[in-house]
Amino acid sequence: MINFLKIFELLTLGFFFPLTVVYFKLSQFILLFLWIISLYAILALLIFYREDISFKKVFYINISKNKKYIYTILLRWIACSFLLYIFTSFLFPEKLFGIQKQDINLLYKIFIFYPFFSAFPQEFIFCTFFFIRYKSIFKSEKNLVIISALVFCFAHIFSINWVAPLLSIFGGLIFASTFKKTKSLILVSIEHSLYGNSLFAIGLGWFFWGGSVTS
């Protein structure tokens, strides 16, 4: 019965809710919805999984333990950023460095605020909450990584284009794998922030926020 309710919850949050956002054209409120779901996730963890969470578990980065993996994260980000640049140059040259051409100050604001208001709550939901809440359903962490990535991908249908979900499936796999390896919300949020800021700097941020939705 408990697992049935969890499955219903996952389907509601991960699939029916994104479809509702698209159907009723509420994509402009996606940041508000993100924080509402984050609040729900916080309450669920505090009520049902208090013994599984702690400040140290959620926010601490064990530098010595994860030193080699941190190098992996940085090298992977550099390589993926280069591939994203090539991807944009060939398929969407008109988007390349679009924000810099229009308003460089906006890019600086994104660099500052995106990590706190978007990347962090997303990783809290799709990693910390997801791995604790649904581990009894999917058993292995390998399964959790795959399902988390699929839900993360589907959540981006609010963008009303194919680019955001396509890139999100790869991003979801990367972020969930990092969390599986490190169990650090802060570290995976930093990694997410690096990729998100790269997307906006290169020009692909248009597909994830604002531009593609309102066009």
pLDDT in tens, 20-29: 999 999 998 9
User: Which token pair is 148?
Assistant: 């988390």
Residue 58 has pLDDT above 80, yes or no: no
Give residue 34's pLDDT. 96
Q: How confident is the model at residue 69 (pLDDT cuts 50, 70, 90)?
A: very high
Check if the beta carbon of residue 187 is closer than 8 Å to that of residue 178: yes
Residue 60 has pLDDT above 90, yes or no: no
In the chain, the percentage of residues whose pLDDT exceeds 70 is 94
Which pLDDT tens digit goes with each residue over 115-166? Answer: 999 999 999 999 999 999 999 999 899 999 999 999 999 999 998 899 999 9
Describe the chain by its helix, strand, coil percentages, rounded to 5.
85, 0, 15
d(CA 108, CA 110): 5
**Greater confidence, 58 or 186?**
186
Give residue 55's pLDDT. 62
Residue 214 has pLDDT above 70, yes or no: no
Outline where 60-124 has alpha helix (H): 63-91, 98-102, 104-114, 120-123
Cα angle 197-208-82, degrees, rounded to a multiple of 5: 45
Q: Give me the residue label for tokens 């460095």.
A: 97
Every domain of the chain and the residues it spans: 2-214
Check if the beta carbon of residue 191 is closer than 8 Å to that of residue 180: no
d(CA 54, CA 63): 18
**Greater confidence, 4 or 174?**
174
Give residue 95's pLDDT. 95
